[in-house]
Structure 1
Amino acid sequence: MRKSKLEKRLLLKMDVSIVPLLGLSFFIAYMDRNNLGNARIMGMQTDLALSDEQFFNCLMVFFVGYMVFMLPANLGMRVIGPPRQLGAAVIFFGVCGTCLSAVKSYGAVIGLRILIGMGEAFVQVGLLYFSFWYKRDEVATRAAVYYTSATISGCFSGLIAYGVQRNLDGVHGRHAWQWLYIVEGIPAIGLGIIILLFLPSFPDIIAKKGSHYFSNDEIDLALQRMAEGKFCGYKLKYSEIWLAFKDPKSYFTAVIYGALCLGIASVTSFLPTFIQAFGFDKRNTVVQTQLFTMIPYAFATVSLLTVCFLSDRINSKGPILFICMATSSVGYIILMATTNKVALIAGTCFVASGLYPAVILTVSWITINHGGYTKRSTAWAMAQITGQGLSIIGTQVYRTPPRYLAGHGTLLGFFCLALVSIVCNWFWMRRENHRKDARAEEFRAAGTKDEEAEKSMDELLDKHPSFKYIL
């Protein structure tokens, strides 16, 4: 369907104001979350005299803080408001990340990593926030641009670490890893202030308070688009929490997202370690290893944008998600099956190229197929809690260098389980769509009205006869 000039103007304003700010927040969050892996090979573990067990615990506790605050963050956004919640959270974890440059003990690292996890839990609501502004066939593309920040962050983190190692090590008596935390932490504070000032709130809130950026016609259209897009039930209703727990989709997607988070945690935490263990050359230095980490992230960036754009164009998620997960599974098989150095790099590219688009497809599958803000938030929180719980495993399974077969095998097993869950979720939603179609046909044949169809979308949510699941 062709869009009107008003809708094109609205979309442009949304894309200019919402996507860049959310993307930058995720870029900074992802960098601050995962710079511990780069700091490790820059000497942090040695300087602080951390054992391998203690280092793994430093990785793990981030996910504990993240997991505990997932549901409050999702539900709280409707009360706190996106600008205040996201802006304050970015400032908070930026301060904590910068403070890591001054740590002297294991306990200090643990405490700050927990706080960073808590702060970033309030940032991940960006994907949920998209559902207030974009239609169901627009979400994946914008979310892909947003999540590309993660892959670009992976590229830049290696490049930044390279620059810091080469130019700042020893400056003013600080180690390279200390400068890394300063260089990557301080920009978050400035970004948080910008988000507080410029990120739009929800369309219905703007409609009440007015806006200098959006015209009244644009806001009216934004509200109309949400109604047409079947994104219903914007009020915070605690009864919908139970509906999410009763919905089989919530569990299928939680398993899928859990496996993906396990994969993301292993890649972001250990990719520099993997590549260093490949042993391309005995002269291979830390800075060269940092540069090699850019290769898988570059492949992931291209696949993320391409795959998610395609999924919106054909308005399908499940089959493409299956292909992405299968691609990553092939990557883990390569990592386990060979010692050829070029093949090992190719294996990491397979893993990353399937992994990152799969995350966005899964998130989109959740947000577009759950009616009601509270139900959608709860289903997303269930997936996130499962994901962060399994991410803890991702920080603990890679203990057998140099080939890390046990870790790769664990990831492959979870990915196979996720493939089964994708199939189950797809068939369950297809059956429900067929059931709704059959019900509508029965009433048409009988010449009677369906009382359920006369009810509002806010009342029945995704159980409404007109709500069709996107497969």
Structure 2
Amino acid sequence: MTDDERNRVERKMIRKVDFRLLTMTILMYILNYLDRNNIASAKLAGMQTDLNLHGNQYEPGCLYLLSCWYTRKELVKRTAVLYSGSIISGAFSGLFAAGITQNLDGARGLSAWRWLFIIEGCMTRRAICQISITVAIIACFIIPDLPRTTSWLNNQEKKLAVWRLEADIGEDDWVDSNHQSFIAGAKAAFL
């Protein structure tokens, strides 16, 4: 390939990956982060004392997946976009939680952190759960696996995706098709 051909194919491939991978990971990250903010707000409102929790009793793979597709230079921008989603959800969740924890502590004999989970749970739990399940099912079909095993890239784009990573970091993560399958990955994750 000439440099112009490679650049054209590379731009097209990156747009495909951005549309599928980045869009879905940001959406999933925002949904995941909404509940995490409730835990932090509840902790500040006294849940830690009431439930006698301490240390790591409160505690992903998005960055790894992104690093399988983007060069180091491209990864910086995509990581910033990903974390922007969490900041946006954190801003809204934090404001809402502050209103609840400051105004309802002791109301009807319940701690503010309990009100936080009751109110936000009633308002958003069902909707968030339905949205999260729908997004997770869609993500199974949209989020790409590794560059060599992604079905929606043509052979030229697959080779280019692998070549770009090799050129950027000097090596390819590929082992073989038996050790890089979905089943092998799931087994490794559970073990």
> What's the TM-score, normalizing by structure 1?
0.29
Does the 8 Å CA contact 2:67/2:75 hold for their aligned counterparts?
A: yes
Task: Determine whether 1:156 maps to 2:87.
Answer: no
The aligned residue for residue 143 of structure 1 is 79
Report how far residue 156 of structure 1 moved: 3.0
Runs of 5+ unmatched residues, structure 1: 64-123, 166-173, 237-471
Task: Determine whether 1:205 maps to 2:141.
Answer: no
2:33 paired residue among 14, 30, 34: 30
Q: Percent identity of the aligned residues?
A: 26
Does the 8 Å CA contact 1:161/1:180 hold for their aligned counterparts?
A: no
When residues 132 and 161 of structure 1 are mapped into structure 2, their CA distance, relative to the original with a 3 A threshold, is same
The aligned residue for residue 129 of structure 1 is 65
When residues 229 and 164 of structure 1 are mapped into structure 2, their CA distance, relative to the original with a 3 A threshold, is same
Counterpart-to-counterpart distance in 2, 1:23 and 1:147: 8
Counterpart-to-counterpart distance in 2, 1:62 and 1:139: 29
Does the 8 Å CA contact 1:21/1:199 hold for their aligned counterparts?
A: yes
2:23 paired residue among 20, 24, 33: 20
When residues 227 and 181 of structure 1 are mapped into structure 2, their CA distance, relative to the original with a 3 A threshold, is same
Does the 8 Å CA contact 2:165/2:172 hold for their aligned counterparts?
A: no
Does the 8 Å CA contact 1:132/1:231 hold for their aligned counterparts?
A: no
Q: How does 1:266-281 map to 2 (within 5 A)?
A: none
Report how far residue 222 of structure 1 moved: 0.7
Report how far residue 128 of structure 1 moved: 1.0
2:58 paired residue among 56, 62, 65: 62
Runs of 5+ unmatched residues, structure 2: 102-116, 176-191
Task: Determine whether 1:190 maps to 2:96.
Answer: no
Does the 8 Å CA contact 1:22/1:126 hold for their aligned counterparts?
A: yes
Task: Determine whether 1:178 maps to 2:97.
Answer: no
Report how far residue 139 of structure 1 moved: 1.0
Does the 8 Å CA contact 2:29/2:82 hold for their aligned counterparts?
A: yes
Does the 8 Å CA contact 1:23/1:149 hold for their aligned counterparts?
A: yes
Does the 8 Å CA contact 1:32/1:185 hold for their aligned counterparts?
A: no
Instruction: Report SS of the residue matched to 1:227.
Output: helix
Does the 8 Å CA contact 1:28/1:188 hold for their aligned counterparts?
A: yes
Report how far residue 190 of structure 1 moved: 1.8
The aligned residue for residue 114 of structure 2 is none
Counterpart-to-counterpart distance in 1, 2:55 and 2:34: 14
Cα offsets for 1:164-196 (capped at 9, x unmatched): 99xxxxxxxx94143256144442222111111
Counterpart-to-counterpart distance in 2, 1:55 and 1:30: 22
Matched AA of 2:144: P
Matched AA of 1:34: N
Does the 8 Å CA contact 1:17/1:200 hold for their aligned counterparts?
A: yes
Does the 8 Å CA contact 1:31/1:153 hold for their aligned counterparts?
A: yes
Report how far residue 216 of structure 1 moved: 2.1
Does the 8 Å CA contact 1:164/1:179 hold for their aligned counterparts?
A: no
Q: How does 1:255-266 map to 2 (within 5 A)?
A: none
Matched AA of 1:134: Y
The aligned residue for residue 107 of structure 2 is none
Counterpart-to-counterpart distance in 1, 2:99 and 2:19: 31
When residues 31 and 178 of structure 1 are mapped into structure 2, their CA distance, relative to the original with a 3 A threshold, is closer
Does the 8 Å CA contact 1:164/1:180 hold for their aligned counterparts?
A: no
Report how far residue 158 of structure 1 moved: 3.6
Matched AA of 1:225: R
Counterpart-to-counterpart distance in 1, 2:120 and 2:39: 9
Report how far residue 159 of structure 1 moved: 5.8
The aligned residue for residue 217 of structure 1 is 156
The aligned residue for residue 165 of structure 2 is 226
Instruction: Report SS of the residue matched to 1:226.
Output: helix
Instruction: Report SS of the residue matched to 2:24.
Output: helix
Report how far residue 197 of structure 1 moved: 1.8
Counterpart-to-counterpart distance in 2, 1:125 and 1:231: 22
Matched AA of 2:50: Q
Does the 8 Å CA contact 1:131/1:231 hold for their aligned counterparts?
A: no
